[in-house]
Amino acid sequence: MEEKDCVRLLEEHDIKPTANRIVVVRALCASMLPQSLAELEHKIATIDKSNIFRALTLFREHHLVHAIEGSSDGTRYELCHSHDKEHDDDQHPHFYCEVCQQTYCLDYAEMPDIQLPEGFKARSSNLMIKGTCPHCKK
């Protein structure tokens, strides 16, 4: 993604586009798969991990990225697909390969609608399917 597109994306989400934040957004775009903090830290050698973390936290608050949990190996982050800056409504299942530890985005699939007992109120959900991916299939 071009720098100017990153800037626009940040601004659309009311985030001041600092140099570091632009780099983080680019790194997220550049990789097809959701990234962990450690992976981003490795790919972006120029920025300290605490700042990558702070950028991601800020992005989450502004619904520019969302976090994916349940991979056994830390939280992963991906850009929100929807352009709704108010809600994180583009949740979808993910697939975690237990061999290569990659996380794939199953964004063609709908999240199931689970009926909750009286009094429970849902805000978000994470569906993580684990197994082996085509590359690691025996």
Partner DNA sequence: GTTCTTGCAAAATATTTGCAAGACG
Partner DNA sequence: CGTCTTGCAAATATTTTGCAAGAAC
Rule CB under 7 A: which residues touch DNA? 16, 18-21, 36-38, 46-51, 53-55, 57, 73-75
For the purposes of burial, counting CB atoms within 10 Å of the CB of 35, is it exposed (0-12), middle (13-18) or buried (19 or more)? buried
Min dist CB 85 to a copy of itself, Å, is 20
In the numeric block, which tokens belong to residue 100?
């290569």
State the Cα–Cα distance between residues 85 and 79, nearest whole angstrom.
Answer: 12
Return the number of the residue (45 or 122) whose C-beta is nearest a copy of itself.
122
Residue 71 interacts with a copy of itself (CB under 8 A): yes or no = yes
CB 47 within 8 A of CB 24: yes
Partner in contact with 21, chosen from DNA, a copy of itself, none, beta carbon below 5 to 8 Å by kind: DNA
